Chain A
């Protein structure tokens, strides 16, 4: 079965430090890949998406992700963390065809220390 693995349910960084949230997918066929962010008591907001146009994808709020087919990975990074980045981040995949549902990872909760 297709799946998404997010390494680390909790990640803590200092303000100004690099943010790296890991995501690996299981498939021999590259899917469409997404990163969503969920702030407390809110819905999910799209950060960025990979749709095969470019392997390095830039998103909102200074986040970017790089698709690496050889590693089946789509890790999310931000050069300098801000306090407002504290939230839960979800990696999701979607495979082609008529079924458009997303398969989500378990999520990574990001804490930012002052």
Chain B
């Protein structure tokens, strides 16, 4: 158990819909990262937050957004969903993005868009 929790574990929805994925980092970790894992793209970095502020953006679509709340949990919002958004979404956390501390990954949310 990494200490990172993600809900829900599975999500099935239809095209055009909007969903919210939730992540709680390890106790004490200030940095949260979101990654998308799909068969064709592999593991891709989406976005990073540090202590409530956006720190870096990766290959995140404009239809996707995220935020980190004062209690440090984070939410990833996916809207106008397309079939190609079906993937496993991971959240990871680390203590300090400036150090070489490893990132601890949650179990992921499997999103299926029908």
Chain B interface bracket (under 10, 10 to 19, 20 to 34, 35 or more):
20 to 34
Our pick among A42, A43, A98, A100 for the contact of B33 (Cβ within 8 Å) is A100
Residue ID in chain A nearest B2 by CB atoms: A43
Among A36, A49, A100, A104, the one with the most B-chain Cβ atoms within 10 Å of its Cβ is A100
Closest B residue, CB atoms, query A49: B102
Say yes or no: B98 contacts A90, CB within 8 Å. no
A100 touches B31 (CB 8 A): yes
Task: Produce 1/0 per residue, A86-105, CB < 8 A to B.
Answer: 00001000100111111111
Interface digits, B88-99 against A, CB 8 Å rule (1 contact, 0 not)? Answer: 001010100110
**How far does the alpha carbon of A43 sit from the alpha carbon of B92 in the complex, in Å?**
10
Return chain B residues, CB-CB under 8 Å to A99: 48, 55-56, 97
B3-56: which residues lie under 8 A (CB-CB) from chain A?
Answer: 4, 31, 33, 35, 42-45, 48, 55-56
**Contact in complex: B55, A98 (CB < 8 Å):** yes
- Interface residue range, chain A: 20 to 34
Complex Cα distance A65/B35, Å? 25
Q: Are B100 and A101 in contact (CB under 8 A)?
A: no
Given A43-B2, A44-B90, A45-B2, also A100-B98 (CB < 8 A): yes
Show the binding face of A for B, using Cβ within 8 Å. 32, 34, 36, 42-46, 49, 51, 90, 94, 97-107
Provide a sorted-by-A list of 12 A–B residue pairs whose CB atoms are within 8 angstroms: A32-B100, A43-B2, A43-B4, A43-B108, A46-B103, A90-B43, A100-B94, A102-B33, A102-B45, A103-B45, A104-B42, A104-B44
Interface residues of chain B, those whose CB is within 8 Å of chain A, are 2, 4, 31, 33, 35, 42-45, 48, 55-56, 58, 90, 92, 94, 97-98, 100, 102-108
10 additional contacts (CB under 8 A) given A98-B55, A100-B48, A101-B33: A43-B108, A46-B104, A51-B100, A99-B97, A100-B33, A100-B56, A100-B94, A102-B103, A105-B42, A107-B42
